[in-house]
Structure formats: structure tokens, C-alpha cells
Structure 1
Amino acid sequence: MKNGALAIEPVDAAPIDPCPKCSVGVVTRRTGRHGDFESCSTWPRCDFKRNIANDERTQGASPIRLTGSVAQGSTCPSCNRGRMVRIDGKYGEFLGCSEFPICKTTASMG
């Protein structure tokens, strides 16, 4: 303890990094709508946030646009892991692989 503050020790050998913005909280890994990121454990008091760099699987993935007929809910023909799900995008509805961002396969709804 330093000046009456609590000492924080890692659990299961997980590294503990103090928040670089507020120095009160610790950096915590979280999963969000757009992938993994790190943020301060005191959020919303501290708004520190940084994206976690994509791993090699997502960096090399190129978008694939399917032109044939693809059924909603079917197995993705590119990765054979995900399912083709309906996505309401900025320019309308389309089918996309549920393994996004690892697999960037899309198809039209028609």
C-alpha cells in the first residue's frame, strides 16, 4: 500500500496495467460490437479506450462478394465456419458471414 491506497495484484498471472489517462483504474480487455478493445476499469468516469490490433487472421482477410444464390442461415462457402446472416447496412440489406471480421464474405439478399 502506498499512502493508504489498496495494492492490486494480478489474478491467474494476468498483467495489470494502470490506466494511462487517469492512473486510478486498470486497463481491462473487453469485447464490443467492432471487436476487442481495452478500456479503463473505472468507465464511465474515465473514457480511456484503445483498439487491440487485429491478429494475422483478420489482417490478411480480403472482402469476398458472392454473386450466386446464397440462402440466409446457410454455411458460409468461403470459411465453412460461419453462417450467412442478414445485415442491415448503410446502403441496404445484405447477407454477411457471422465470422466477420475474420471472414468478410458478403452476398446480395436477392
Structure 2
Amino acid sequence: MVFNEIIPQAYSLMTDVFSNYVVQKFFEDGSATQIRELAEQLTEHVLTPSLQMYCSRVIQKAIEVVGLDQQTKMVTELDGHVMRCVRDQNGNHVIQKLLNVYQKMLLIL
């Protein structure tokens, strides 16, 4: 019930100092369908949130839990902006999370 209320406002909630935690919690404990739908709200909106203090935490959480196809979409959106993210104090954490996730995937393979 709560999910249906937040999904239309998900992007703006991700950038809020308090409500970003609600979105992160859905990424942690939501159903696979909810996680996928929430991640779709990030489509074409990865770079700017990655550079924002609160939303970068949501992006990091999403990177941890979404499927490979959605991770790939997120990485593609950062293509050409990696150095900008690395130099940014918030974006840097997003890039570190991506590298961490891919390193774990390589170890599994």
C-alpha cells in the first residue's frame, strides 16, 4: 500500500534528506517487482542524482540490489561522466559501489 503511494513521487523522494531512507528501504526489503519498478524511476536519471548527497545513497543501494540488466542501464548513463563522478564527493561513492559490485561478480565467475 505504501509503495503505491510513493512510486509516483519516487524521484523527488530520493533527493529528500529524510524520505531517501524510505526509498532505500524499499530497495533493501521490497519485492523483486517493487525493486524493478523503483529502479525504472532512475532510468535516464542517474548522473544528476549520483552527484547529490542524499540521492547518491539511493543510487548506491539500487546498484547493490537490481538485476544485471538494470545495472547495465545505470552504468551506460554514466558513460562519459565517470571522471566527473570520481572528482565529486558523492559521485565518487557511486563509482566505488559500481566497482565493488562488479569485483564481487567477477569473483563469483
Same-fold status (TM-score > 0.5):
no
Compute the TM-score of the two structures, normalised by the length of structure 2. 0.22
Larger RCO: Structure 1 or Structure 2 (Cα < 8 Å, ≥ 6 residues apart)? 2
Specify which structure has the higher proportion of strand: 1
Looking at CA atoms only, which structure, 1 or 2, has the larger radius of gyration?
1
